[in-house]
Amino acid sequence: MYKPDSLEQLVRENRFTISVIFPLFGALGFVASAEGFLPEFLEFNPLMVLFGTLVMRLPLISGIKPLIDVKSGLAILAVTLYAYIIEFIGIQTGFPYGEFSYGVELGPMIYGIPIGLPVFFIPLVLNSVLFISLFEVKGFVKNVFGSLAALLAVDSVLDPAAVSLGIWNYSGGFFYGVPLSNFAGWILSGTVSILVLNSALNTERLSERLENTEYFLDDMVSFVFLWGVVNLYYLNIVPVIVAILFGAVLYRNDRFNLAISELDMV
């Protein structure tokens, strides 16, 4: 019989704080930093950004932890290495995302790349895989294409907000400052990552865990609040609509926890 561990209990008792309060304060902090409303030492403070991101990742970490075996662990390690390599190539050559650079340090950096890159990238891929699982898509190929479509939709929310904030910069682009090459790059990096993770994870156990773990997609709820609010502030209308659509699907599938429990208020 499965017994919840301390991390699972922590997440369950603080769902509202983790998936709603943290991202809303994060959005406020990002906008205040970009607009110069904060003292310089607090503007996009890298340790605060990394800490907040890690907190919002807790539901995903807790949800997937029981599913990690040697095969899936090696797959995550491979995707981590792949993320570093393709990001390094991207910064040095402009391939495959187009010419871009980081305008803000997202935690400690090395060769212009955040050391915490896997904390930002891999959850986007995993959340896309989980999101498509809500539709009970059958078949490996359909799952891969569905997950990739979800990942591109995620990027259509993330990148315009990040560009508006100055977190990273492109030389120009048709979609709120984001070039078409960026989405082509995400097709490449996303396809490889999704193929590796989908091949390694036990999809039957993953679906069962998703069905029985109400908070498994709370990290995506955080994503909707954080980047949806930032896009709303900068009037990036299409990304706001996409974020709302994500939120509507999550809500329809009972993935929102908007009730503040007594434990959340302690």
Q: DSSP class of residue 175? A: B
CA distance 13 to 261: 8
The total domain count for the chain is: 1
Residue 98: which domain range? Answer: 6-265
Q: How far apart are CA 145 and CA 126, in angstroms?
A: 14
- Within a domain: 198: yes
Q: Which two tokens stand for residue 99?
A: 């010419």
- Nearest Cα neighbor of 193 from 98, 121, 138 is 121
What is the 8-class DSSP label of residue 108?
S
Asked if the structure places residue 108 within a domain, the reply is yes
Is 44 among the domain residues? Answer: yes
How open is the CA angle 231-247-158, to the nearest 5 degrees?
35
Residue 1 placed within a domain: no
In this prediction, the residues of the chain whose per-residue pLDDT falls under 50 are 1, 261-266
178 DSSP assignment: B
Q: What's the distance, CA 140 to chain centroid?
A: 22
Q: Specify if 250 maps to a domain.
A: yes
- Residue that has been written with the tokens 């391939």 in this structure: 95
pLDDT digits (tens, 9 = 90+) for 78-118: 999 999 999 999 999 999 999 988 998 887 888 888 988 99
The pLDDT tens digits for 118-146 are: 999 999 999 999 999 999 888 888 999 99
Cα angle 105, 99, 169 (rounded to 5 degrees) comes to 40
Q: CA 246 to CA 253: how far, in whole Å?
A: 11
